[in-house]
Amino acid sequence: MEPSPAPAPSPPALAIEVRGLVKRFEDVVAIAGTDFEVPMGQCVGLLGPNGAGKTTTVEILEGLQQPTSGEVRLLGMRWDKDAAELRERIGIALQETRFPDRISVEETVRLFRSFYRRGLSVEEAIALVRLEEKRDAYVMKLSGGQRQRLALAVALAADPELLFLDEPTTGLDPQSRRALWDVIEGLKGKGRTVVLTTHYMEEAQVLCDQVIIMDHGRIVAQGTPAELIASIGGEQVIEFATTPALPAEAFAEVPTLVASRPRGNGHTLSVKELHRALPGLLAITAARGVSLNHLSTHQATLDDVFLAFTGRSLREDAS
């Protein structure tokens, strides 16, 4: 008997589908028509400066805000039809969460856990965010970072298939940030889908399979971190200023130059080969008789991608 042919692989199921999403607040356009998809099991990062539309996007996905127009599907379902089931299957940590002050960490997690039929035990949720020592502490006695970890424990209480984290690590110390990265990596390992917003480029680069860069309510770039960095063409970035200042045209002949942009009082050059570009740059400044200051180089990052697409730096915008 002939072996039966292997079935064709089915396309990956989508955790999120967004089509033509628009959100207006009177005359403010918070989301100006976005389309994107997130396959199951991916971690997707929404990046962008203050006011880009990240929180509005995630709050519409979370069912907390109504879109002005457009369509959103989560796990194949829609908020207008399947709200009760969706609430059981997604977890939410808001950009800012206020819990009652005079109940303990454990009581807070227990309260939120009681809203769901299935989920983690209270102990598991507290252990995941390493708040065991604070189990009996009142919420009002927690530090800012501990409160954020409590918000994450609450979001994880139902062991959600799809988790939304709006700036989960803003204000956390580096150790807590890494601990949270470990939690997110663990969720990815279990096939969960995570949507996070962040101002931290290295966070997106480490955690995210897919990055969506937003600016003024639009998606300006989308892809894996590696694809986005490759898309700007230069692997290396040189930042510098000269005294006196020179126009950008002065650097057009730098070897292997891909792009040059102004940054502050100086310039940012994307180049393919640092070992050829740097001597060229030094020769130009020597020939012009200008002195070079603040010279630094780095491997291209998502911040350079943002700068290339918007002309502005996330680093300068990030608080």
Ligand X SMILES: Nc1ncnc2c1ncn2[C@@H]1O[C@H](COP(=O)(O)OP(=O)(O)OP(=O)(O)O)[C@@H](O)[C@H]1O
Residues lying near Mg ion in the complex (CB under 5 A) are found at: 54-55, 95
Alpha helix (H) residue ranges in 90-200: 105-113, 122-128, 144-156, 174-189
The binder of 113, among ligand X, Mg ion, none, by C-beta within 5 to 8 A per type, is: none
Tell the smallest beta-carbon distance from residue 69 to ligand X (Å): 16
Q: What is the dihedral of CA 182, 57, 308, 169, to 10 degrees?
A: -30
**Cα 243 to the chain's mean position, in Å?**
37
Residues in the interface with ligand X (CB under 6 A) total: 12
Stretch that binds ligand X, among 5-13, 48-56, 66-74, 79-87 (CB under 6 A): 48-56
Choice between 158 and 221, CB closer to ligand X: 221
What share of residues in the chain are helix, strand, coil (percent, to 5)?
Answer: 35, 30, 35
The binder of 147, among ligand X, Mg ion, none, by C-beta within 5 to 8 A per type, is: none
Residue in the structure block whose two tokens are 């530090």: 143
Tell the smallest beta-carbon distance from residue 71 to Mg ion (Å): 22
Stretch 49-88 residues interacting with ligand X (CB under 6 A): 50-56
Please tell me whether residue 91 binds ligand X under the rule CB under 6 A.
no
Residue from the set 18, 21, 42, 48 that interacts with ligand X by CB under 6 A: 48
Helix, strand or coil for residue 4?
coil
Give the N- to C-terminal CA distance of the chain in Å, as an integer.
67
Q: What is the DSSP string of 255-269?
A: TTEEEEEEETTEEEE
Q: Rule CB under 6 A: which residues touch ligand X?
A: 25, 28, 30, 48, 50-56, 95
